[in-house]
Amino acid sequence: MSLERKWKDQLYQEFARIGKCLSSPKRLELIDLLAQGPKSVDQLAKITGMSVANVSQHLQTLHESKLVRFNKKGNYVIYEIAELSVADFMVSLHRLSEKQLVEIQRLKTEILQHHASMEPIALEELIERMEKGEVLLLDVRPEDEYVMGHIPGAISIPIEELEKKLASLPVNMEIVAYCRGPYCLMSAQAVEILKSKGIKASRLEEGVHEWTRYVEHSNISSQGDALV
């Protein structure tokens, strides 16, 4: 075996480590959640419906592949993605999968039909209307995720607090809700709550990372709050 062949075999073997690590749907979900901000094992178990033991095992596998890192805060172990390129990779994976896999397209259509009241708004239109002061952008993720990074100009009202805080929203302005990205339905739930109260509302499919990519590729100057 030539030295070049040996080098290539070793190189692709290392690439395969990442592929094997990402072969679990639960680990993919954990990465998506950690891309929104650091979380404890207990938090991840609650969100995903997995046991703490299963979450810990999946996180250990992700850590061995250098996709996540952790630190200790008191009695808690807090995990986060190793670097922002991991979140970028997940955005690319989502887009490629949706483009290539018919089943994902079918599931997305089914979800949209189930939430028939959702009216998606395109990023380009959102930016234009926000600049004109025509819409209010609402981040319905947990507050800690908002603090870690959000779309400039967005206000934070977690989905579980929305009904109690409806009075704080302007009645003469359309509300655009967003959450963790295209496959998160908290924003859909928010739109349904707002519309049930007579408030004009629509949903932004994209989340913070999709917004960041759009801004970078469009050479748009992001003013105000930091994204991440």
The catalytically annotated residue of 35, 90, 126, 179 is 179
Catalytic annotation present for 21: no
- Which residues does residue 72 pair with via DSSP β-bridges, in sequence order? 77
Q: Which two tokens stand for residue 156?
A: 């934070």
- Three-state secondary structure call for residue 203: strand
* Cross-sheet strand order for the sheet of 68-73: 39-40, 76-81, 68-73
From the list 194, 204, 143, 139, the residue with the least C-alpha distance to 166 is 194
The DSSP code for 175 is E
Angle between helical axes of 41-48 and 25-34 (0-180°, round to 10): 120
In angstroms, how far apart are the furthest CA atoms of the chain? 72
Q: Residues with catalytic annotation?
A: 179
